[in-house]
């Protein structure tokens, strides 16, 4: 999947169509920086409405603004896609409501029933089921101060690598919008060095790169442990980190929440096993 990340260029980059394997298309491809580009006739809204962004449920729940002008990371939010586990399914005459959980939060998604499809259902495609994982395409909506996703497509996950892949992709897009294109952080860190010294805000003062400035001492210790300790692709469990650092598990978990919230680590096999996110 190509989102057209491009070094330099002031953060401008191309978009390409992506379907994530969905049948029928999701009406958009890629994402656009800022989402405010105007077309030749000045129709900025139509340009924005053709964008697709991978997100987490937490980002949807915490998006600023109101329907239809939601923003995530300060940029317009049009069509979205995410992966989650279906906690419940409720069928009504006009729609089916799915409650999904991706580990960052829960949200309801409504799929409106087309009368023709209801009379002639397609039995050849697999259907989402409770406790199964699914990928969804749609738009964030708000009704009576309660948010939900109006889904165009929801399909079951057949390859569970897609779950981890999506979380990494959503994190990469978040970092792109909040920290700039890849390579920008390295240039910033290099520019912070003067006469053999390094600005502590770049992470160089304690020998760590990639950790945001302003993090607590506990978060710095946990980050350094994750970066330097021998580990498999699954990363390190909270218990291992606590044992290595001689810290209480509760303190390690609080530090991990800091790091997860800043997008520098991610969960792997479960919520208590972490690995460094190298971007």
Rounded mean pLDDT of 231-244? Answer: 87
In this model, does residue 163 exceed pLDDT 70? Answer: yes
Distance CA 133, CA 205 (A): 43
**Best mean pLDDT range from 30-44, 45-59, 200-214:** 45-59
At 116 the pLDDT is 65
Q: Are 268 and 231 in contact (CB under 8 A)?
A: no
Least confident of 17-26, 45-54, 139-148: 17-26
Q: Are 192 and 202 in contact (CB under 8 A)?
A: yes
In this model, does residue 124 exceed pLDDT 80? Answer: no
At 197 the pLDDT is 39
273 or 209, which is more confident = 273
Q: 218, 229, 204, 228: which is closest to 256 by C-alpha?
A: 218
In this model, does residue 146 exceed pLDDT 70? Answer: yes
Cis peptide before 204 (omega within 30 of 0): no
- 97 phi and psi angles, rounded to 5 deg: -105, 125
Report all structural domains of the chain as residue ranges with CATH numbers, in order of start.
9-166 (2.40.50.140), 202-279 (1.10.10.10)
In this model, does residue 211 exceed pLDDT 70? Answer: no
DSSP string across 2-45: -----SSGGG--------TT-TT--S--S--STT----TTS-HH
Confidence category of residue 117, pLDDT binned at 50, 70, 90: low
Confidence category of residue 195, pLDDT binned at 50, 70, 90: very low
Chain-wide mean pLDDT for the chain? 75
- Judged by phi (left if over 0) then psi (alpha if -120 to 50, else beta), residue 102 lies in alpha
CA distances from 175 to 23, 107, 139, 185, 204 (A): 29, 23, 22, 10, 20
At 167 the pLDDT is 94
Helices (H), 7-149: 44-49, 57-61, 115-119
At 51 the pLDDT is 84
At 121 the pLDDT is 65
Token code pair at residue 177: 């919008």
């Amino acid at each position: 999947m190509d989102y057209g990340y491009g070094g330099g260029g002031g953060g401008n980059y191309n978009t390409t169509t992506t379907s994530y394997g969905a049948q029928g298309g999701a009406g958009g491809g890629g994402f656009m920086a800022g989402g405010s580009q105007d077309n030749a006739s000045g129709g900025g809204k139509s340009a924005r409405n053709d964008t697709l962004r991978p997100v987490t449920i937490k980002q949807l729940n915490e998006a600023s603004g109101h329907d239809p002008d939601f923003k995530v990371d300060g940029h317009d939010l049009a069509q979205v896609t995410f992966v989650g586990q279906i906690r419940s399914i409720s069928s009504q005459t006009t729609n089916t409501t799915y409650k999904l959980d991706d580990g960052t939060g829960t949200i309801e998604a409504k799929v409106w029933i087309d009368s023709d499809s209801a009379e002639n259902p397609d039995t050849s495609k697999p259907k989402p089921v409770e406790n199964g994982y699914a990928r969804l395409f749609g738009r964030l909506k708000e009704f009576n101060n309660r948010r939900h996703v109006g889904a165009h497509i929801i399909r079951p996950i057949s390859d569970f690598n897609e779950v981890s892949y999506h979380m990494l992709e959503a994190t990469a897009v978040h970092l792109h919008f909040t920290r700039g294109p890849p390579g920008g952080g390295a240039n910033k860190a290099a520019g912070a060095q003067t006469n053999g010294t390094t600005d502590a805000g770049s992470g160089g003062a304690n020998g760590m790169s990639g950790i945001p400035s302003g993090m607590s001492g506990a978060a710095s210790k946990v980050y350094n442990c994750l970066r330097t300790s021998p580990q498999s692709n699954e990363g390190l469990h909270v218990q291992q980190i606590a044992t290595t650092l001689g810290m209480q598990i509760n303190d390690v978990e609080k530090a991990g929440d800091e790091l997860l919230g800043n997008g520098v680590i991610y969960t792997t096999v479960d919520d208590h096993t972490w690995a460094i996110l190298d971007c």
